[in-house]
Amino acid sequence: MNGIEISVSGRFPRVAKLYGEYHEYAGGDMESFLAGVRKNVKADIFTFVQPIEDRMPKYDFPRQPDPVAVLPIETYEKWWKQTINDKTRNMIRKAGKKGVTIQHVEFNDELVKGIKEVYDESPLRQGKPFKHYKKSFEVLKEAHASYLDRAVFVGAYFEGKLIGFIKVIIVGKSASIMQIISMVAHRDKAPTNALLGKIVEICAERGIQNLQYGIWSRRSMGDFKLHHGFQEVELPRYFVPLTARGRVALGLKLHRGLMDVLPGKFVDYFAGLRTKWYLHKYRSQLQS
């Protein structure tokens, strides 16, 4: 659709959204865009959010708040001295003391080889199977070549080897983190903290006013986000019925994901059980 990739998931209802949600937005003439979606996409509902800097609702479609994690940026100095606490500052300093260097890097084959080594370290991440584990070089290169005209890559290196990286996509005066990951074996060197610190510095230099890091959730690296100054920001999320099935599903509130319906304690409990199961299932690979 107009050069924007759209993904569709679910059965009833089938929900379509931008594949690169938060990294790109359906702007311009929304009515024309939706007419194209209705014509070309086999789905019952199309959902989209407004950009971070455009938070006031502007459309009459059904909507609900979409909580995302956003770090307001004025200057790097203010973030360093006033936003984060001593413990977080010490973690960032720790990386340098342990011999980790943080570099703004270009996207090339060498970087992709390093990314593959980082990804192949463990089959699990955050207690569940890691989707990039053991993917081929060619597949990873194609996947990470997205938005190269707006992408910023920063790598964390120890003794000349990539041990972590962050990829950020610039969207106007805002930016969104597409990936941030480090090797578990080097966690004691705090490379992830140092990577985030460097990207805040780069954003401040470029006049980026907001850095977005996924959804706001204490279950999804919530403490890490909180300690680095991210705040909960509610963006308007719209749900546009494309078919009669879509209108029925919206009326019955079937467009909401299961995680939005279940109590938080219930979700946390089963997430813990899931983690234990995967640790047992992949124990041989984790020990190798």
Tell me the average pLDDT across 196-201.
98
What the chain holds in terms of domains, given with CATH numbers, is: 6-64+236-283 (no CATH), 74-208 (3.40.630.30)
Question: Per mean pLDDT, which range of 67-71, 81-85, 116-120, 121-125 is the poorest?
Answer: 121-125
Residue type, 280: H
Q: Read off the pTM.
A: 0.88
Tell me the average pLDDT across 216-233.
85
| 281: CB partners within 8 A, 6+ apart | none
Q: What is the dihedral of CA 34, 37, 39, 42, to 10 degrees?
A: -140
- Residue 252: per-residue pLDDT: 87
Residue 262, pLDDT > 60, answer: no
Question: Per mean pLDDT, which range of 13-27, 163-177, 189-203 is the poorest?
Answer: 13-27
CA atoms within 13 A on the CB side of 140: 22
- Residue 126: per-residue pLDDT: 74
Residue 54: pLDDT band (50, 70, 90) is confident
Give the whole-number percent of the chain exceeding pLDDT 90: 74
Distance CA 6, CA 31 (A): 16
